[in-house]
Structure 1
Amino acid sequence: MFQSFTASTSASDSAPRLADLRKKLAKSGVSGFIVPRSDAHCGENVAPRDERLAWLTGFTGSAGQCIVLADQAAIFIDGRYTLQVRSQTDGALFSYHQIPQATPAKWLTEALPEGGRIGFDPWLHGQREIEALEKALTPKGITLEPLPENPVDSIWPDQPAPPLGKVAVFPDVIAGKTHASKRQEIAGILKAEGVVATVLTLPDSIAWLLNIRGSDIARTPVALGFAILHADATVLLFMTGAKLDEDVRAHLGPDVTIAEPEAFPAALAALTGRVALDPGTAPLAVKAALSAEIHWMRDPCILPKACKTQAELASTREAHLIDAVAMARFLAWLDEAAPSGGLTEIDAVRELESLRRAGNTLQDISFETISGAGPNGAIVHYRVTEDSNRPITPGDLLLIDSGGQYLEGTTDITRTVATGPVQPEARRAFTLVLKGMIAMSQARWPEGLAGRDLDALARIALWQAGMDYDHGTGHGVGVYLSVHEGPQSLSRRGTEALKPGMILSNEPGYYREGAFGIRIENLLVVEPPETPSGGDRAMLGFETITFAPIDRRLIDPDLLSTAERDWLNAYHARTAAIVSPRVDDATAVWLTKACAPL
């Protein structure tokens, strides 16, 4: 259920913690230290033990970095967090910088004199990141120093212990492949690359490869650990034995040898021959422990994991229908309750999470629910707390971004809802966002194009009005795994060619600071469409798998083309047809009205 942030991440604690860290750095002989929002597995979501950035600064976003020097400190965030970082941290202690307009390298070259030494934890940074930073800093006479101990850990007196969540078997019938067949498939890639083994550090890669799931990370069903996959398809799995019961061990079988995490560095040192390592995700400490020849290549599980099997897609479609029931019941409840007042953002979160759990199939929510009313909706990754909790005033726009983790699949959906009379500027902005969402839903493109080639489709209507949004249009999604999954994305940085079976979100938005936020999100599956008559090229398109009404009260029909109106009416007709039989009579009546033709 709803969780608010604890006092341990309060901005008021930052001053003494910064002072303690600076004393520690002075004793270490370095000019400063990098504090990323990361762990040794380069995951987006981290265990409480690894929330160093939040503990030091108060900023709880899922991406960011702080650099602490003797006389100043800076926080680097992307466009999603420009408002959140200011609301959660002390501007007297930290300067704020938005990536990519600003970079840590540029800031350091201006803040440090020649001879400066910046410390970092080699378990929290990869080769590619450090290599790029060194390239920018070396000409300025600034060096990077891996430290044997993380100085934040040494000043964090009540740092949580490492998680010990239980591991579970993920059914082959949902995965569509056994872990033996997956190991053979990836081993074939290793042989083709001429390597004897690869080191896997991403928990979702290990979970996918071995058909297991875990509970070490809130909202993301993975188990923290490391693995070495050999070219003969055998695996050394470094994971705390207490997490693995006899059923899991029997599932893994004799070709998967289990060892404690403490044995990982020695196993790395013992490897011989050419060993594959991912420069983007493997911690630099792994490279340092290897004595074997390193072959840099992307984690070989990433792309196969992204291209879902037919079994995974069928199961995910079912997960979205399960989720659609909860969303329909929630939107019907909200429609009745919000106009009379008395609701708060937290009330909406609790009701939606309760309705998801009522189906008895929810394993967890897939991320902390975003419930932003009025101006709070303009904070892209806003997380309501007891302190920030805002009443939902009739007439506010309520942006609710949420999702569920079901054994069948992972969902992620955003709806922006009117709670009373709608202002013309809000209706216009909503309709422009809707036009972009429809354009992406209907996209068709030649094989080989990437997300960056499609991203503009969702923005054109906004651009023509002099508007935009500072986040990507869509991210990849796993199957009962990470709600944010690479390598696929719909964004200006999306360089991975889109392939059949990939699941992506489609979520354009618009945010007016101090007034409202708008985002509409469905999930899509990449699939080959029917070739039009006369067509002569292999094409790809999208299948929409999310079904929930889009608030018709927020739409200006005059701004929609006939084709856009037809798409919306067809989407609503299908939503009513497939969701109504699964809900109670009262919700079905509401659904019929909410999905009426425009």
Structure 2
Amino acid sequence: MFQDFEDRADPARVRPRLEALRAGLGDRGLDGFIVPRADEFQGEYVPACAERLSWLTGFTGSAGQAVVLEARAALFVDGRYTLQARDQTDTDLVEIVHIADTTTAEWIGGNVPRGARLGFDPWLHTASAVKSLREACERAGIDLVPVPQNPVDAVWTDRPAPPMAPAVVQPLALSGRESAEKRKEMAEALASKGCDAAVLNAPDSIAWLLNVRGADVPHTPFVLSFAVVHADGRVDWFVAPEKVGAEVRDHLGGEVIILSPEGFTDALGRLGARGAAVWIDPDRTAEAIRRALTGSGARIVEARDPCQLPKARKTPVEVAGARAAHERDGVALVRFLHWLAATAGDGTVTEIEATQRLEAFRRETGCLKDISFDTISGAGPNGAIVHYRVTKRTNRVLEPGSLFLVDSGGQYVDGTTDVTRTVAIGTPTEEMRDRFTRVLKGHIGIAGARFPKGTTGAVLDGLARYWLWQAGLDFDHGTGHGVGSYLSVHEGPQGIHKRAVDVALEPGMIVSNEPGYYREGAYGIRIENLVVVTPPSGVVGGEREMMGFETLTLAPIDRACIAPGLLLGHERDWLNAYHARVRDTLTPHLDADAAAWLARATEPV
């Protein structure tokens, strides 16, 4: 249920903790230390024992980095967190730096004295990130020093224990492919690059490859572990043995060897000792792994994580599971929207109450394992903060005449959901309707797109923005991100965004379709459905087969926010057909009152 992460923040604790860390740095001969919000697995979510940045600075955001020097410290955050960071840390001791204005590397180059020794934990930075940091330090005459033991851990006396949630099997009935088949495919990929092994430290890759899930981090069913995939398809899985019960061991069979994580570094050394060619992804692999391999004589082959692309291509079983999960999730969403319509108009419902109610409806399905991310529940101006997370301090009432943006999702064993709806509380203004309809037109543009094999998301991105652009408007986030199958709600390598990518959309890939518009200090609009890429098929009168999207999400789009005159005929047809599918699919699962509300909410435009 709802957690107020700001309750963990206490600026008064920052001074003694900084002083303790600085004393430890002096003992190590260091002039400074970099503290990222990361763990050794480089995932989006981290366990409590890895929240070093939060412990040290009080800042509880999901992304950030601090540099602590002898007499000053800086906390680097993006635009989502500048206000939160100022509230949570002691700004007399910690300077808040917006990374859009000054990157960590730039700040280091301009503020760390020449000849200084700047420490970092090589387990908490990717190989690519360290390369960039090292280049900046070399230009500034700074010695970037890897440290064997993290000095924050030495002074964090009440640090939580590592998570020990049990691993569970993701059965064939949900995955659609045996782990042995996937491991054989990995062996073929290794052979194609002349590699003897690949090292995996991304939890989603290991979970997909072995058909296992866990509960070591919030909102994402991961088992925190490392793996080495050998050229013959064998896997050495470095995981706490107490996490792996008899059922999982039987499922894995004799080709997956379970080893203690304490032996992982030595295993990397043995690969190097025999001169092995080892595949790593420098953008997802900890620098400590790269160093252990190169230091022992391994030949590094840098390429994208070999699990990423096949994991993104969902099997027919996984696509069927996604449909089932979205139908179940849609029922919960309709029950929530019905409740919201009945209660929010009196101006008493708050963002926190809405968050709690929505999660409760999902839990009442009896199938929810967890929410898939912290719900974004933004009323009025808070909706204009793209990655807003409500706290007791920021909690607003849903006021009549405002817009309410709610972005949420659920984790079910058969699928991961992510959906955003923007709802009018009372009567929206004409400007709100205009902006909402332009966003809707962009959403429909993506949903109805047809495109040939080889098309990347960057080619399609303009379809989502075209009608906003005509009014001199835009949004600053991507149009779509990949989504896992009971895995991470943010998954690569596919996506729909402005920046160039080398990954084409392929059948079975699930991506979000979420254009938006944000008027700072007033309101935010986003309409998000998940879609799956469909197989190539012919087009009447066409010469080439084309792929497209099937919309998975089932929830009404607020008709009160639409300016019908702005919709073209085919856009009106798409909306009415979508609403008819939502109504026909979900009505049998609703009580009479909710079904009657849904009928009204999905009337033709």
Distance 1:424 1:101, change over 3 A: same
Cα deviations by residue, 1:75-115 (Å, 9 ceiling, x for unpaired): 33344445544554454444444445542222222223432
* 1:173 paired residue number: 173
Q: Matched residues in 1 for 2:207 and 2:125: separation?
A: 22
Match of 2:510 among 503, 506, 511: 503
The CA deviation at 1:65 is 2.1
* 2:277 paired residue number: 274
Match of 1:286 among 278, 284, 289: 289
1:109-258 matched pairs, under 5 angstroms: 109-258=109-258
Point out the more displaced range, 366-375 or 465-474.
Answer: 465-474
Q: Matched residues in 2 for 1:473 and 1:408: separation?
A: 25
The CA deviation at 1:383 is 1.7
1:318-329 matched pairs, under 5 angstroms: 318-329=324-335
CA RMSD of aligned residues (A): 2.0
Q: Is this contact kept in 1: 2:516–2:525, CA < 8 A?
A: yes
The CA deviation at 1:23 is 3.3
Amino acid at match of 1:552: R
The CA deviation at 1:46 is 0.6
Point out the more displaced range, 374-383 or 400-409.
Answer: 374-383
The CA deviation at 1:219 is 0.7
Residues 1:559 and 2:570 are matched in the alignment = no
Q: Is this contact kept in 2: 1:195–1:231, CA < 8 A?
A: yes
Distance 1:575 1:543, change over 3 A: same
The CA deviation at 1:579 is 1.3
Q: Is this contact kept in 2: 1:61–1:381, CA < 8 A?
A: no
The CA deviation at 1:243 is 0.9
Residues 1:576 and 2:583 are matched in the alignment = yes
Q: Is this contact kept in 1: 2:6–2:391, CA < 8 A?
A: no
Point out the more displaced range, 219-228 or 440-449.
Answer: 440-449
Q: Matched residues in 1 for 2:182 and 2:68: separation?
A: 43
* 2:303 paired residue number: 297
* 1:439 paired residue number: 445
Q: Is this contact kept in 1: 2:42–2:285, CA < 8 A?
A: yes
1:406-417 matched pairs, under 5 angstroms: 406-417=412-423
Q: Is this contact kept in 1: 2:413–2:486, CA < 8 A?
A: yes
Amino acid at match of 2:569: T
1:67-86 matched pairs, under 5 angstroms: 67-86=67-86
Q: Which runs of 5+ in 2 are unaligned?
A: none
* 1:261 paired residue number: 261
Q: Matched residues in 2 for 1:425 and 1:82: separation?
A: 29
Q: Matched residues in 1 for 2:100 and 2:464: separation?
A: 21
The CA deviation at 1:322 is 0.6
The CA deviation at 1:12 is 4.3
SS where residue 451 of structure 2 aligns? Answer: strand
The CA deviation at 1:594 is 0.5
Q: Is this contact kept in 1: 2:539–2:545, CA < 8 A?
A: no
* 1:394 paired residue number: 400
Q: Is this contact kept in 2: 1:84–1:379, CA < 8 A?
A: no
The CA deviation at 1:315 is 0.8
* 2:345 paired residue number: 339
Amino acid at match of 2:216: D
Residues 1:405 and 2:405 are matched in the alignment = no
Distance 1:270 1:505, change over 3 A: same
Q: Matched residues in 1 for 2:582 and 2:465: separation?
A: 25
Cα deviations by residue, 1:542-589 (Å, 9 ceiling, x for unpaired): 111101011111112222222222221221111111111222221111
The CA deviation at 1:146 is 0.8
Q: Matched residues in 1 for 2:581 and 2:313: separation?
A: 26
* 1:517 paired residue number: 524
Q: Matched residues in 1 for 2:15 and 2:404: separation?
A: 35
Q: Is this contact kept in 2: 1:528–1:541, CA < 8 A?
A: yes
Q: Is this contact kept in 1: 2:325–2:412, CA < 8 A?
A: yes
Amino acid at match of 1:205: S
Cα deviations by residue, 1:240-265 (Å, 9 ceiling, x for unpaired): 11111111111111111111111111
Amino acid at match of 2:281: D
Q: Matched residues in 2 for 1:51 and 1:481: separation?
A: 21
SS where residue 528 of structure 1 aligns? Answer: strand
Q: Matched residues in 1 for 2:168 and 2:414: separation?
A: 14
Point out the more displaced range, 312-321 or 148-157.
Answer: 148-157
* 1:590 paired residue number: 597
The CA deviation at 1:198 is 0.9
Q: Is this contact kept in 2: 1:80–1:470, CA < 8 A?
A: no
Residues 1:383 and 2:386 are matched in the alignment = no
Distance 1:307 1:552, change over 3 A: same
SS where residue 475 of structure 1 aligns? Answer: strand
Q: Is this contact kept in 2: 1:174–1:312, CA < 8 A?
A: yes
The CA deviation at 1:297 is 2.1
Q: Is this contact kept in 1: 2:61–2:81, CA < 8 A?
A: yes
Aligned length: 598
Q: Is this contact kept in 1: 2:38–2:50, CA < 8 A?
A: yes
* 2:369 paired residue number: 363
Residues 1:532 and 2:535 are matched in the alignment = no
Q: Is this contact kept in 1: 2:6–2:60, CA < 8 A?
A: no
Q: Is this contact kept in 1: 2:481–2:496, CA < 8 A?
A: yes
SS where residue 135 of structure 2 aligns? Answer: helix
Q: Is this contact kept in 2: 1:76–1:97, CA < 8 A?
A: yes
Q: Matched residues in 2 for 1:540 and 1:230: separation?
A: 35
Identity of aligned residues (%): 55
Q: Matched residues in 2 for 1:441 and 1:368: separation?
A: 26
Distance 1:443 1:142, change over 3 A: farther
Q: Matched residues in 2 for 1:103 and 1:449: separation?
A: 33
Q: Is this contact kept in 2: 1:83–1:379, CA < 8 A?
A: no
Q: Matched residues in 2 for 1:500 and 1:294: separation?
A: 32
Amino acid at match of 1:404: G
Amino acid at match of 1:55: W
Amino acid at match of 1:286: I
SS where residue 444 of structure 1 aligns? Answer: coil
Amino acid at match of 2:45: N
Amino acid at match of 2:289: V
Cα deviations by residue, 1:205-256 (Å, 9 ceiling, x for unpaired): 1110011100101110011011111111111111111111111111111111
Q: Matched residues in 1 for 2:88 and 2:574: separation?
A: 41
Q: Which runs of 5+ in 1 are unaligned?
A: none
Q: Matched residues in 1 for 2:152 and 2:36: separation?
A: 11
Q: Matched residues in 2 for 1:136 and 1:448: separation?
A: 37
Q: Matched residues in 1 for 2:464 and 2:65: separation?
A: 29
Q: Matched residues in 2 for 1:102 and 1:497: separation?
A: 33
Q: TM-score, normalised by structure 1?
A: 0.95
Q: Matched residues in 2 for 1:97 and 1:436: separation?
A: 34
Q: Is this contact kept in 2: 1:79–1:470, CA < 8 A?
A: no
Q: Matched residues in 2 for 1:251 and 1:217: separation?
A: 23
Q: Matched residues in 2 for 1:26 and 1:146: separation?
A: 15
Q: TM-score, normalised by structure 2?
A: 0.94
The CA deviation at 1:144 is 1.6
Point out the more displaced range, 520-529 or 34-43.
Answer: 520-529
Q: Matched residues in 2 for 1:372 and 1:140: separation?
A: 43
Amino acid at match of 1:27: D
Q: Is this contact kept in 2: 1:79–1:471, CA < 8 A?
A: no
The CA deviation at 1:524 is 1.0
Q: Matched residues in 1 for 2:77 and 2:604: separation?
A: 42
Q: Matched residues in 1 for 2:584 and 2:195: separation?
A: 52
Match of 1:351 among 351, 357, 360: 357
Distance 1:146 1:521, change over 3 A: same
Residues 1:423 and 2:429 are matched in the alignment = yes
Point out the more displaced range, 295-304 or 330-339.
Answer: 295-304
Q: Matched residues in 1 for 2:575 and 2:547: separation?
A: 21
Cα deviations by residue, 1:345-384 (Å, 9 ceiling, x for unpaired): 1111111111111111111111111111122222222222
Point out the more displaced range, 489-498 or 239-248.
Answer: 489-498
The CA deviation at 1:343 is 1.4
